[in-house]
A and B are shown apart, each in its own frame.
Chain A
């Protein structure tokens, strides 16, 4: 009896909501949309770009610094409204974990194709430190070039923190039969990767690090290693043996489940937003190369590329 009552109640409430949504001209709530800022340039600039677009539509915006892994839990609970750079390989797990618990929705994908993979700075290839790269088979014969003091005589792969993809890389090294020549070291964060990149360059030492594109390292030249192509089910988690490279990844947008209801117009614009590799590269370059502050870079990008974003707001 009780359950029937509850269901009818829900139906009535549902129809009422649908009714009010279709008849009353829905305006966005004036409470601020909370956009997280993480610790890398392109993300922060894009936060201010998206914030600027929302502001141009008359919304209020607030920026909240947050950890890039912990942010999904915050979106789920509703303390943060969106996350506009969900990298498949690094944050996919946190994103889907939060989604499984309920409260996070998928608000579409950027057009920028991403790749997150092990690779070497291009000058390593130019100098011929490992002939045959970027084909992965070349790695078999030049592990000595990648030896570090703590790698026990094997070549070292510098992978991102364990929180990004767990044991994916150690499994791959073994599956490709490189286990007796290479060892995977987990770095503590992106800073550690960039620091190793910078010091390797100064020293003229070869290094294999985990990296992604679009990224600021594209400008200096970075070549991803070509592993056996990714196929569905090739990873151990999906039943394969793990001897494959990374898929061409997606860059998604996440939002709190209430966002479409509280800010219907802003949400529509947000779900349409799709930045390309060029867009992201331009945003990052304004900060990393032209040394503008993140806010100024966003303002400049918005002013210079009106054609790229104004159609989202309509």
Chain B
């Protein structure tokens, strides 16, 4: 033991590989052999989860509720009443914002009844004309930051309006405007709570880990059963998905606040409340704002998935367009999603960075300049909409609301582009595809599936042991054991094979591109912008063209995986390399290293821990996309998660499968994180 730990890691790895391959070739496939496959001892777990959820939802603590519709008392479980009350409140808020933007009757119904609305046709909330919403967004951008943001808002709103996507965009917006603030507030509250109490912190960490690595498909059915179908269900799934990074970043920011700042606050006589909201949180603003940025990105990234359980808007239309293979239309919708994300992100950043000017002495007019301007826009827009009713006779008033899909479209252009790619590259791509599948992917898949379970454990736990000692090895072993005891071990191996391939290629591309772009300030900025765009741009759009080119094969899935998983690899490489102090560059140059030597011996080792976190994220992104790859057609865990949507034990199957995926991610996370931390210590970073 002592002897081996003194050996350099290379020798330990060599030893590990020898053991691994001996086991690999020694143990042949035999179902009765426990070294080949473990028996599915927790096969019943999904059923158990399912029965527990059903009991909780439909039987536990029944109360009699009168249903006026069918004039009968019904027994309803307490939990269902509570979750439905939450759903109702959420739905009301979403509808309220939606009706301000698009008009409707639901808000009035809430305060009266459907009967009242049916009888009184005048009781209808009018929509804000699109010109007023656009004007408002531009004014807000100008007020919060200046011309640049105003221009961006103008571009985004006119793009959405001109392309005839106003209605679905506002539907999506209304649901994001509820989901995002809830995620931010929830994340902030949990982060502060975890900061104050160590116990909360330690219980929260594993929950956050699981929530961040679990594929969103797997909790769609539980959310639907507990909260029902509709925009509120979409919002709840989005909140589950978007809150964890907010909690993480809040906690990170708060921990970084130096004790001197807190002491200064206390000396000035702050109460606890003041200390938190006027001193600590503003000081941690930088990290908290990155959290807000992540929440907004995540919310819009969920727009498509949320439409599986009832969210209206761009996501649903996008799926519909893809089903008709109208890639051009889907692309236009995808751009709307990205534009909304960018504008919201910039607006929230500008708002949070805006300093209050306590000393200026302004007149009434100056103080309310923007409100008055908005009032003017409102009056002008309304007038214009009114004039429009005389002008447009065929029933669509373009000054009021641009009807859906009645704007201009560039669909034919994109379609032609797809055709061109097809005609030019198809046959060379096909040769490549055949080579990749027969020479690389199929053998790799067979190799993964031919791995005896004991060999997998030895390899993974051994790696964890070498990089992070016994504790790491045990944690990783625990994760693997869970998966090995379900009946889906083989499926998990296929998921692992695709994720491994995706991660290797993404990392190579990401680190190369990241390194090249980080050489220069402008290219760094540009590549980070590209990363942001691709993160919110719905991945479903490129699934279809990819299938057209590469067929329903693993290649298609992997291309989608690589496009998506390269984002974090690139981003963290750029950030890591940019954070290497320029003094060290100079010191290196003075010692006479050339550019390449400097990169290998100075920049790369110093940026290594941060880049490892990037690879960590790459693994999570790759797993997500492999699971979404089920929409193309895979035979891994993802296909079964998709199947859970129709299963009798859907809740249990979905959650258990989701946990399997999460545990693969967490096992890799454990190994990489301990390694990165060790390197950090060795380098004397923080």
Q: Which residues of A contact B (CB under 8 A)?
A: 13, 17, 20, 29-32, 36-37, 39-41, 44, 58, 60, 64-67, 69-74, 77, 79-80, 91, 93-94, 97, 100-101, 148-150, 152, 158, 161-163, 185-192, 194-196, 198-199, 202-203, 258, 261-262, 287-288, 293-295
Given contacts A70-B308, A163-B643, A198-B325, contact A192 B228 (CB under 8 A): no
Told that A41-B320, A163-B645 touch, could you supply 16 new A-B pairs with CB distance under 8 A? A17-B71, A30-B117, A30-B118, A64-B229, A65-B311, A67-B220, A100-B648, A150-B441, A161-B643, A185-B552, A191-B631, A192-B632, A192-B633, A194-B323, A195-B544, A258-B70
Interchain CA distance A30-B112 in the complex, whole Å: 12
Cβ-defined contact, A40 with B631, below 8 A: no
Interface string of B299-327 (1 = CB under 8 A from A): 00000000111111000100110111100
Q: What residues on B are CB-neighbors of A293 within 8 Å?
A: 404-406
Which stretch (B249-257, B262-270, B431-439, B531-539) binds chain A?
B431-439
Cβ-defined contact, A188 with B310, below 8 A: no
Asked whether any CB of chain A lies closer than 8 Å to the CB of B650, the reply is: yes
Q: What residues on B are CB-neighbors of A79 within 8 Å?
A: 224, 228-230
Interchain CA distance A72-B224 in the complex, whole Å: 11
Q: What residues on A are CB-neighbors of B639 within 8 Å?
A: 161-162, 186, 188
Cβ-defined contact, A65 with B324, below 8 A: no
Cβ-defined contact, A69 with B114, below 8 A: no
Interchain CA distance A79-B115 in the complex, whole Å: 20
Interchain CA distance A72-B426 in the complex, whole Å: 41
Interface string of B207-236 (1 = CB under 8 A from A): 000000000000011001100111000000
- List which B53-77 residues lie within 8 A (CB) of chain A: 67, 69-72
Interchain CA distance A20-B430 in the complex, whole Å: 70
CB distance from A183 to the nearest CB of B (A): 11
Cβ-defined contact, A149 with B646, below 8 A: no
Q: What residues on A are CB-neighbors of B113 within 8 Å?
A: 30
Q: What residues on B are CB-neighbors of A71 within 8 Å?
A: 229
Asked whether any CB of chain A lies closer than 8 Å to the CB of B553, the reply is: yes
- List which B542-566 residues lie within 8 A (CB) of chain A: 543-544, 547-549, 551-554
Q: Which residues of B contact A (CB under 8 A)?
A: 67, 69-72, 113-115, 117-118, 220-221, 224-225, 228-230, 307-312, 316, 319-320, 322-325, 404-406, 422, 426, 430, 433-434, 437-438, 441-442, 543-544, 547-549, 551-554, 629-635, 639-640, 642-643, 645-648, 650
Interchain CA distance A44-B316 in the complex, whole Å: 11
Among A65, A71, A152: residue with most chain B CB under 10 A: A65
**Contact for B309 among A70, A150, A196, A288, CB less than 8 A:** A70
With CB as the reference atom, state the residue of chain B lying closest to A195: B547
With CB as the reference atom, state the residue of chain B lying closest to A76: B225
Given contacts A186-B639, A198-B548, A293-B405, contact A66 B309 (CB under 8 A): yes
Q: Is the interface of B mostly helix, strand, loop or mixed?
A: helix
Interchain CA distance A189-B325 in the complex, whole Å: 13
**Contact for A186 among B311, B544, B633, CB less than 8 A:** B633
Interchain CA distance A202-B421 in the complex, whole Å: 13
Cβ-defined contact, A288 with B324, below 8 A: yes
Given contacts A162-B643, A191-B325, contact A262 B307 (CB under 8 A): no
With CB as the reference atom, state the residue of chain A lying closest to B543: A191
CB distance from A161 to the nearest CB of B (A): 6
What are 23 A-B pairs at a CB distance below 8 A?
Answer: A13-B72, A40-B323, A64-B310, A65-B310, A65-B312, A66-B310, A69-B645, A70-B229, A70-B308, A70-B650, A79-B224, A91-B646, A150-B437, A150-B553, A158-B633, A161-B633, A161-B643, A185-B633, A192-B547, A192-B552, A192-B632, A194-B324, A199-B549
Cβ-defined contact, A149 with B404, below 8 A: no
**Contact for A189 among B72, B225, B430, B631, CB less than 8 A:** B631
Given contacts A79-B228, A192-B552, contact A58 B118 (CB under 8 A): yes
**Contact for A67 among B230, B308, B441, CB less than 8 A:** B308
Q: What residues on B are CB-neighbors of A187 within 8 Å?
A: 552, 632-633
CB distance from A290 to the nearest CB of B (A): 13
Q: What residues on A are CB-neighbors of B230 within 8 Å?
A: 64, 79
Given contacts A150-B442, A192-B632, A199-B548, contact A70 B220 (CB under 8 A): yes
Cβ-defined contact, B225 with A192, below 8 A: no
CB distance from A85 to the nearest CB of B (A): 14
**Contact for A191 among B71, B225, B437, B544, CB less than 8 A:** B544
Interchain CA distance A69-B630 in the complex, whole Å: 15
CB distance from A40 to the nearest CB of B (A): 5
Interchain CA distance A105-B639 in the complex, whole Å: 29
Interchain CA distance A288-B69 in the complex, whole Å: 39
7 cross-chain pairs, A with B, having the tightest CB-CB distances, nearest first: A69-B646, A30-B114, A79-B228, A195-B547, A188-B631, A261-B70, A65-B316
Cβ-defined contact, B225 with A73, below 8 A: yes
Interchain CA distance A67-B631 in the complex, whole Å: 13
CB distance from B361 to the nearest CB of A (A): 53
With CB as the reference atom, state the residue of chain A lying closest to B648: A97
**Contact for A188 among B69, B325, B633, CB less than 8 A:** B633
Q: What residues on B are CB-neighbors of A64 within 8 Å?
A: 229-230, 310, 312
Q: What residues on A are CB-neighbors of B426 within 8 Å?
A: 202-203
Q: What residues on A are CB-neighbors of B69 within 8 Å?
A: 29, 31, 258, 261-262
CB distance from A207 to the nearest CB of B (A): 9
Interchain CA distance A272-B307 in the complex, whole Å: 31
Cβ-defined contact, A39 with B633, below 8 A: no
Interchain CA distance A32-B576 in the complex, whole Å: 55
Cβ-defined contact, B225 with A77, below 8 A: yes
Cβ-defined contact, A188 with B634, below 8 A: yes
Interchain CA distance A37-B310 in the complex, whole Å: 9
Given contacts A13-B72, A288-B324, contact A29 B307 (CB under 8 A): no
Q: What residues on B are CB-neighbors of A74 within 8 Å?
A: 224, 228-229
Q: What residues on A are CB-neighbors of B544 within 8 Å?
A: 191, 195
Given contacts A37-B316, A39-B319, A149-B553, contact A161 B642 (CB under 8 A): yes
Cβ-defined contact, B114 with A188, below 8 A: no
